Amino acid sequence: MTMSNTGGRRRPPTIHDVARVAGVSRGTVSRVLNGGHYVSPAAQEAVNAAIRKTGYVVNRHARSLITGRSDSVGFLLTEPQERFFEDPNFNVLLSGCTQALAAHDIPLLLMLAGTKDERRRITRYITAGHVDGVLLVSSHSGDRVAEELREAGVPLVQCGKPMGPGSKVSYVAADDRDGARDMVRHLLSLGRRRIGVVSGPLDTPGGVDRLAGYKEVLTEAGVEIDERLIVSGDYSRASGEEGAERLLAQAPDLDAVFVASDLMAQGALAALRRAGRRVPEDVAVGGFDDSAAATEAKPALTTIHQPYDRISAEMVRLLLAQIGGEDPAAVILPTELVKRDST
């Protein structure tokens, strides 16, 4: 901090202070702060050292007036607020994206929009230019947020594959279908044949693909698809519990359950315990995500690992590339079976 001439109060260091300490012009400092174009390595190092010495912090508001950018990114979750606090996956994604953007000195704004009115307000806020781009999490079919933002020219990367055919939205996803296939193969390898499923919501890509993987492997193994063994949930713990109760009522002879999220699987375990079914002796249980819910479960869940660190990093990479003028792109990352005590 630098002393002012009035009353000895400290004032924030300015770009002029950085230039003076570095021994360069104000224009050189400005070029370093805006990407380092046309600046020699020696001058860039001198400016960076002066920034550290003076404690100078970029005035983002002033920069945005010049560049037309906000120098911030939105993390948009289109789910009710309580889901953000219940589901550990959202917090892991948020943390990963925050860290990836911090490496570029870009803050991340959390936006929750679980209702139509909230989505309308948030869309209006985003398209007014308050963020440079959006990381969209948990999009449902029929939800126009992604398309509206894309049509407005807002750089956007979605977590999970878009539901609509021919969508031009950039996305990063784990291979949901292949992960489900691995889990069902594992349950079959244990000699289980009456395998139920609590799918995710069927208006989401993960819900559709994980159910498809379940059906594909059973068909390949010559096991008839029994609709009594198929129910759907909404990724909440309560829906997993309700789903398992329905399965037990419809197919009491089931000997395994593939639950399409770890949080739902926690609920399914509670329902099985209440029904007097031992896990894994009577009913083997597999989850999906490899979240904190898997290791906290009793017994610990066999599950499908989603590489959330890579998903976060790739979402940020694709978004920054779009903000820089590149075309939308897609990345699908492999999953991995993690065996624990529930199977």
**Tell me, what CATH number does 43's domain have?**
1.10.260.40
Q: Are residues 152 and 187 in the same domain?
A: no
pLDDT at 168 over 90: no
Domain total in the chain: 3
Q: Which of 158-162, 232-236, 268-272 has the lowest mean pLDDT?
A: 158-162
Give the tens place of pLDDT for each residue, 43-102: 889 988 998 888 877 655 455 444 446 689 999 998 888 888 888 899 999 999 999 999
235: β partners: none
Higher-confidence position of 287 and 140 = 287
Residue 7 to residue 170: CA distance in whole angstroms: 54
> What is the model's pLDDT at position 52?
86
pLDDT of amino acid 80: 82
13 prior amide bond cis, ω within 30: no
Cβ(135)–Cβ(76) under 8 Å?
Answer: yes
Q: Does a structural domain hold residue 343?
A: no
214-236 pLDDT tens trace: 999 999 999 999 999 999 999 99
**Structural domain contains residue 111:** yes
> In percent, how much of the chain has pLDDT > 70?
90
Task: Answer yes or no: do 92 and 190 share one domain.
Answer: no
Mean pLDDT score of the chain: 89
pLDDT in tens, 108-128: 999 998 888 998 999 999 988
Residue 337 has pLDDT above 90, yes or no: yes
User: Does residue 340 belong to any structural domain of this protein?
Assistant: no
**Which strands make up the sheet holding 195-199, listed edge to edge?**
230-232, 195-199, 256-259, 284-286
Give the number of other CB atoms < 10 A from CB of residue 116: 10
pLDDT digits (tens, 9 = 90+) for 17-53: 889 999 998 888 877 876 666 788 898 899 889 988 8
The 10 Å Cβ neighbour count of residue 269 is 26
Query: How many Cβ atoms are within 10 Å of 297's Cβ, its own excluded?
Result: 24
Which residues have a Cβ under 8 Å from the Cβ of 342 and sit 6 or more positions away?
A: 265, 269, 279, 280, 284, 285, 286, 287, 297, 299, 300, 301, 302
Could you count the other beta carbons within 10 Å of the beta carbon of residue 4?
A: 11
Q: Which residues, 6 or more positions from 198, have their beta carbon under 8 angstroms from its beta carbon?
A: 231, 232, 233, 239, 240, 243, 244, 247, 257, 258, 259, 260, 264, 265, 268
Here the tokens at position 23 are: 């021994």
SS3 state of residue 39: coil
| Shared-domain flag, residues 99 and 86 | yes
Q: From CA 198, how far away is CA 247, in angstroms rounded?
A: 8
**Structural domain contains residue 198:** yes
pLDDT for 206: 92
- DSSP character at residue 224: P
Residues 292, 324 within the same domain = no
pLDDT value of residue 142: 66
Q: Could you tell me if residue 21 is inside a domain? A: yes
> What percent of the chain lies above the pLDDT cut of 90?
65
Same domain, 141 and 194: no
**180-201 pLDDT, tens per residue?**
999 999 999 999 999 999 999 9
Check: pTM over 0.85? Answer yes or no: no
Cα(301)–Cα(339) distance, integer angstroms? 8
Tell me: do 90 and 232 sit in the same domain: no
pLDDT digits (tens, 9 = 90+) for 306-336: 999 999 999 999 999 998 889 989 999 999 9
DSSP state of 59: -
Residue 9 has pLDDT above 70, yes or no: no
Q: Are the beta carbons of 230 and 260 closer than 8 angstroms? A: no
Q: What is the pLDDT at residue 222?
A: 96
Respond yes or no on whether the N-terminal peptide bond of residue 252 is cis (omega within 30° of 0).
no
| Residue 286 in domain | yes
Which has the closest alpha carbon to 147: 131, 127, 132, 128?
Answer: 127
pLDDT at residue 304, rounded to an integer: 98
Residues 316, 274, single domain; the answer is: no
Same domain, 29 and 92: no
pLDDT at position 37? 67
Q: Name the band, by pLDDT with cuts 50, 70 and 90, for residue 165.
A: low
Residue 247: give its domain's CATH number.
3.40.50.2300
Tell me: do 160 and 210 sit in the same domain: no
- Is 169 part of any domain? yes
Predicted confidence at residue 69, as pLDDT, reads 60
Query: Within a domain: residue 65?
Result: no
Range of the domain at 49: 15-58
CB of 1 within 8 A of CB of 11? yes
Same-domain pairing of 222 and 322? no
> Does residue 177 register a pLDDT over 90?
yes
Rounded to the nearest 5°, which phi and psi values hold at 110?
Answer: -80, 130
Other C-beta atoms closer than 10 Å to the C-beta of 320 total 19
- If asked whether residues 170 and 186 sit together in one domain, one would say no
Cis peptide bond N-terminal to 201, omega within 30? no
In sequence order, the β-bridge partners of residue 336 are 305
Residue 251: the pLDDT is 97
Kindly state whether residues 314 and 167 are assigned to the same domain. Answer: yes
Has residue 6 got a pLDDT over 60?
Answer: no
